[in-house]
Amino acid sequence: PITPGELLCLGSSLAFSGLFYYLYRRKSRVVARIQEAPKLQVDDNLPALVSAAEGRCLPYVALEGIVLPAQAALTSHYHEGLQGVIQKLQLKEHRLIWNSLARSW
C-alpha cells in the first residue's frame, strides 16, 4: 500500500523533474543558437553589414579581430594572460506601473 505522503513526494518529484527538463531544453536551444552564430571580421565592411540587417541589429554574431580598449582591458581571473573588452553595454529599463491595490510601483 502506498501512503499519501509517498504519493505527494512522487508527484512533487515528477513536477520538479518536468520543470527542470523544460528549463534545460529552453537554455540548450539558446546555447545552440549562440554556437551557430556567424563569425564576422572587424573591418570596414562591418558597418555596412549592420546597417543592411533587419532592424539594424545582428542578434547573435561572433566578432573576430583586434579591438582597442577605451580605458583599460579586462583581465581574466581564471586564465593568465587572457584579456577582453566590452564593446557596448545595453541597458533596458522596464516601465514602472503604480499598483493602487498594493500601493507600490
Per-residue pLDDT tens over the stretch 50-103: 889 888 888 778 888 877 788 888 888 988 888 888 766 666 666 777 778 877
User: Is the per-residue pLDDT at 12 higher than 90?
Assistant: yes
81 and 46, same domain (yes or no)? yes
Helices in the chain by DSSP H: which ranges? 4-35, 46-52
Cβ within 8 Å of residue 102, ≥6 positions away = none
Residue 47 phi/psi, 5-degree rounding, is -60, -35
Domain count, the chain: 2
The predicted pLDDT at position 103 comes to: 75
Q: Note whether residue 97 is domain-resident.
A: no
User: Is the per-residue pLDDT at 23 higher than 90?
Assistant: yes
1-10, 39-48, 72-81, 89-98: least confidently modelled range: 89-98
Q: Rounded to whole angstroms, what are the CA distances from 55 to 26, 36, 42, 49? A: 25, 21, 20, 12
The predicted pLDDT at position 33 comes to: 85
Residue pair 50/56 in contact by the 8 Å Cβ criterion: yes
Cβ within 8 Å of residue 74, ≥6 positions away = 83, 84, 85, 86
The predicted pLDDT at position 66 comes to: 79
Q: What is the mean pLDDT of residues 11-37?
A: 94
48 and 71, same domain (yes or no)? yes
Within 13 Å, how many C-alpha atoms sit on residue 63's CB side? Answer: 18
Please report the sign of the dihedral spanned by the C-alpha atoms of residue 23, residue 25, residue 28, residue 33: negative
Q: Note whether residue 101 is domain-resident.
A: no
14 or 101, which is more confident: 14
Domain housing 20: 1-35
